A and B are shown apart, each in its own frame.
Chain A
Amino acid sequence: MPGKRTREILLLVLVSTAMCLVAGELVLRAYLSRHTFYDVEMSRYARLLKVDSENPKIGYVHRPNREEHLMNVDVRINSDGFRDDEYPLEKGARWRIIFLGDSLTFGWGVEKDQTFEALLERALQAKRPTEIINFGAGNYNTEQEVNLFLEKGLRYRPDQVVLFYFINDAEPTPRASRLEWLGNFRIATFYWSRVKALWARFDPSTGFEAYYRDLYRDGAPGWQHAQEALLQLRDAAREHGIALQVVLLPELHAPAERLFAPQYARVMEFLRANGIPALDLSPRFAGETDPMSLWVAPDDAHPNARAHRAIADSSYDFIAEASPS
């Protein structure tokens, strides 16, 4: 049994630490009213706009009819859970395309009218009246994207579906965390992410390069599920007479160095071998020697408005060729 003095010191340490955390939370909230931290914004996105899906292969979906200000831009979710305008299920005369993807397709950190989805929709009008429905959702992998399409996308009777593949699409589908409630505290998100960042600084094997490469190791379950999902999507598209295309989006940490060329080559090889038309945009970004000029923020390597413009320009011909004039 510890003595009275030891008990007093322990009590003091506990109470003062709790008070420090409360004070830190208040200071951080005050700071974040004028500034943004990527991790805090992603945590807010998850808590404010995502809700569990009944389908475990989808994991979560957007809450319908919600509006939030995230990563310095307004985000409005329509009644079917997409960051887009309202579209009737019944298809009109317009050529209808569905874009599948993750936070890059969602347009994280970019105004809606500056996303590559919106830019392509406007550009494609010159060829024929076209509407694009954006199914992009943050942190989705290919398995989730395909299952969302099978559950919701087919109801829209699209003429064309384009899956925007990113290097982390081979991640396993995330499971609900028992520590999710901690996301209510900015200070918890802040310390969690900063400690991870510090760890990665001293141990490169925990950084993005090693992490993304490891997703494609032989036998990696996420990559296996991604391949199965792509074949499932191909078969569903064939069955319903839908034109299917895949566009590989570049990883923007060092586009000129093409850090993940072998992994993207592996994905392209798989797609070609299975008769899925695909375009890798990475070579078109090889001249970008200032990566951060393409980022949403220094702590967020998502593509900004300039990068979205480049993605739209680079993929226009490929996407347009699937629709009749």
Chain B
Amino acid sequence: MIRDFLRKYRWLLVGILVVYVCVSLLLLYLTDSPQALPFQYQVR
């Protein structure tokens, strides 16, 4: 049943994985710059 389910939606699953990886890498690339935020940090 699960195999059928995954086969049926395999391209959607691949799409979600690709989107997740691309968004993560893009975020990493766009924010790879010297610190520009204040030290303020929600700690406690």
A interface residues, Cβ below 8 angstroms from B? 8-9, 12-13, 16-17, 20, 24, 38-39, 42-43, 45-46, 50, 52, 59-60, 102-103, 138-139, 168, 171, 174-177, 179-180, 191, 193-198, 200-201, 206-208, 211-212, 253, 292, 295, 298-302
Contacts and interface: CB of A to CB of B under 8 A. Distances in A.
- Which applies to chain A's interface (DSSP): helix, strand, loop or mixed? helix
B16 A9 contact: no
A303 B31 CA distance: 21
Nearest to B30: A198
A191 B27 contact: yes
B30 A201 contact: yes
A52 B44 contact: yes
A16 B16 contact: yes
B43 A174 contact: yes
B44 A207 contact: no
A8 B42 CA distance: 37
Given A174-B43, A177-B44, A208 B36 contact: yes
Contacts of A179: 42
A42 B35 CA distance: 14
Given A13-B16, A176-B44, A295-B35, 4 more contacts: A24-B20, A39-B41, A42-B43, A212-B38
A76 to B, nearest CB: 20
Interface of B: 5, 8-9, 12-13, 16-17, 20, 24, 27-28, 30-31, 33-44
Nearest to A103: B39
A83 B16 CA distance: 46
A60 B20 CA distance: 37
A111 B14 CA distance: 46
Contacts of A139: 39-41, 43
B24 A201 contact: no
Contacts of A299: 34-35
Given A16-B16, A174-B44, A177-B42, A207 B27 contact: no
6 contacts: A46-B44, A168-B40, A174-B44, A194-B27, A194-B31, A300-B35
B43 to A, nearest CB: 4
Which of B20, B33, B38, B39 gathers most chain A CB within 10 Å?
B39
Contact of B5 (A8, A174, A180, A211): A8
